[in-house]
Amino acid sequence: MKNNIFKALILAAAAISLASCSEWTEPEPVGFNYATLEGKNPDLYEAYYQSIRDYRKSEHKVVIAKFRNKATTPAGRAEHITCLPDSVDYIILQNPKVSEIIANEMKEVRSLKDQKILYQIEYKAIENDYKAYAEAWNDAHPTKEAEAGKETPSDPADTLVSLNTYVRTAVKAKIAYLSEYGYDGVNIVYSSKNPASFSEEGLAELKAAQAAFLDPIEEALAANEDAIVFFEGTPQFMLVDVKLVENADYLIVSATSAVNESELSYELSLVNRYGNIPNDRFIISVTTRSIEDPTLTDGTFSGTDRNGKDMTAIIGAAEWTAKATSGVVKAGIAVENAQNDYYNLHMIYYSIREAISIMNPSPIK
């Protein structure tokens, strides 16, 4: 009986996958009524998705898909989050502002598969926005800084906002998306220099910069206790709001340029070397191969996979994660630009599906 149920669920998975997401085309409806598994065999349909939800609660290596989405209507199947493999546990949207279609898909994957949807708040992105703002302001006010001693302008636009003030305001605006779009949580991305290299004055400035970015997030999360929190970057260098690191569900270690297991281990050791952060929740982050520029080496890995194909960083990271390492817990992998893995001649999302099978040998992919 178990074998029959197992086979039925596999067939259901295949049928649902084909019905919900065409690999290469998105045909227009022409008036035909196609039978779906949901309508033809609702019990099997529900059994399959119940197995997915049960899997989500089981002990396993997690997979996080970082999805570079657009705020506009999806233009193709690769831009739909419903096309991601069912066993992806978390989806991080790079753009928190989503179209109505993606907003509805967020509800769908959460309800059917219990997938959790987060969005990213990245310090570097805000800092880049500030640089553009400051450059534009200076172009519009070429003599302002030379007018020392002049009274403070009554028009705020005539005063250059400081970086920390700009960051704090931007973060407050971004953290509001948590409730506005009904996200399950946030991925905090912040990298800092080693505090040991700073003078006393520089250390005070570093703390102020960290506080400008992290304080508004911690304040918002205090009112959203159920929110999922990931921290990506250099958690070992945080001097303020350390509870964000201590209480984070996962700590993401970026290793997008790694090409072998030794380099993955090195990146993890850099983050964990001081022993001042939790070591039981590390996620290694790699990237897909670029589809815009095939000459880029990011997303590649040395060797071939178990199917004899060129190794991708996703599969390499999965094999590395599946191997136990003393003193730390490698909890899973994160995949940047996950949507690029959709385009594969062998199978859509080939590398991610293969990674799931390597870390969690299971009939559910």
CB count within 10 Å of CB 43 equals 9
Residue whose token pair is 């233009």? 75
- Note down pLDDT in tens along the chain; length 365 residues: 334 444 444 445 555 554 456 444 444 444 444 455 566 678 888 899 999 999 999 999 999 999 999 888 898 999 999 999 999 999 999 999 999 999 999 999 999 999 999 999 999 999 999 999 999 999 988 865 445 445 555 566 678 999 999 999 999 999 999 999 999 999 999 999 999 999 999 999 999 999 999 999 999 999 999 999 999 999 999 999 999 999 999 999 999 999 999 999 999 999 999 999 999 999 999 999 988 887 888 899 999 988 888 899 999 999 999 999 999 999 999 999 999 999 988 889 999 999 999 999 865 44
Helix (H/G/I), strand (E/B), else coil: 117? strand
Whether 329 and 282 have beta carbons less than 8 Å apart is answered as: yes
What sections of the chain are H helices per DSSP? 2-20, 37-40, 42-57, 100-113, 123-140, 163-175, 177-180, 200-222, 243-246, 261-272, 313-322, 350-359
Q: What whole-number distance in Å separates Cα of residue 232 and Cα of residue 343? A: 27
Q: Are strands 300-304 and 310-312 parallel, antiparallel or unpaired?
A: antiparallel
> What confidence score (pLDDT) does residue 18 get?
47
Q: What whole-number distance in Å separates Cα of residue 182 and Cα of residue 226? A: 12
- Global pTM value: 0.87
